Amino acid sequence: MPVPDFAALIEDPAYLASLGYGVWLMDDHRWALKVWETERRHDHYTLVHADYHWDGCYDFHEQPDAEAQLVAASSAEVATLVAADDLIRYDSFIAPAVKRGLVHTIHFYCLQHGMGDDALDENFLHSCGARQFLHASPGDLVKVAIDGPMIFDFCLDLFNRSDKWAEGDLWPDAEILTFLETIRPLIRQAELVTVSMSFNYSGTAADTRHLTGLVVPRLLTYRSDA
């Protein structure tokens, strides 16, 4: 499949592209749930989530009718819910996957605040029969022994130290490439790899284009080599 011209990418909440080798690129992170559902080949998956943010919100709380609709929805109906950008948004797409039983185990590598501040609610996880693990380093993350199908979910704002809107303080390229080499085994093992550019969260528009052009081709190389 054709790889996009990374230098021409712009902020576009509707952008979603299959790049081949099971790699999907998007701007708004909520589309990851649509991909997981439409590409689903197994009953349950382990999810690895590498992101600056935890994205642990669940907006179906205290909305039993909407929650029942979520649980009963077909993959196509989930895609419609994602497109609505209401109860499934850029920071609330993981918990719905857990509620539907698509994801039963989550491994988080996130840098926002302290570890666990915004990970999934433990009572929610218990009610779904799911579990989560929080990792303090990429080296710790890559040691995870995953038995069964796995999804690797990635947000490029992981590499932006700035917490200001549309401002960048990016990791040096060498540090980014070292991180990618460290997690390479997980990228190769994953059945799907979903990547969010997250314009504005990942720095200036130029920063986001730079990160996309640096990271995505290497992910595709890892996948093609596998």
Query: Which of these, 71, 67, 68, 215, lies nearest to 155 by C-alpha position?
Result: 215
The reply to whether 10 falls in a domain is no
In a domain, 159, yes or no: yes
Burial of 51 from C-beta contacts in 10 A (0-12 / 13-18 / 19+): buried
Q: What is the pLDDT of residues 107-133, one digit of tens each?
A: 999 998 755 567 999 999 999 999 999
Specify the 3-state DSSP secondary structure of 226: coil
Q: Encoding tokens for residue 85?
A: 């950008």
Order of strands across the sheet with 150-155? 16-20, 23-26, 192-196, 150-155, 45-51, 103-110, 131-134
Share of the chain above pLDDT 70, in %: 98
Is residue 135 included in any domain, yes or no?
yes
What pTM was estimated for this model as a whole?
A: 0.96
Q: Give the mean pLDDT of the chain.
A: 95
Q: Are 115 and 54 in contact (CB under 8 A)?
A: no
Tokens of 224: 């093609």
Tokens of 56: 């642990």
Residue 1 lies in a domain: no
Question: Is residue 3, in this structure, part of any structural domain at all?
Answer: no
Q: What's the rounded mean pLDDT across residues 51-76?
A: 95
Domain count, the chain: 1
pLDDT of 1: 61
Identify the domain containing residue 193 by its residue range. Answer: 16-225
Q: Is residue 8 part of a domain?
A: no
User: Would residue 131 count as lying in a domain?
Assistant: yes
Q: Is the pLDDT score of 226 beyond 90?
A: no
In a domain, 6, yes or no: no
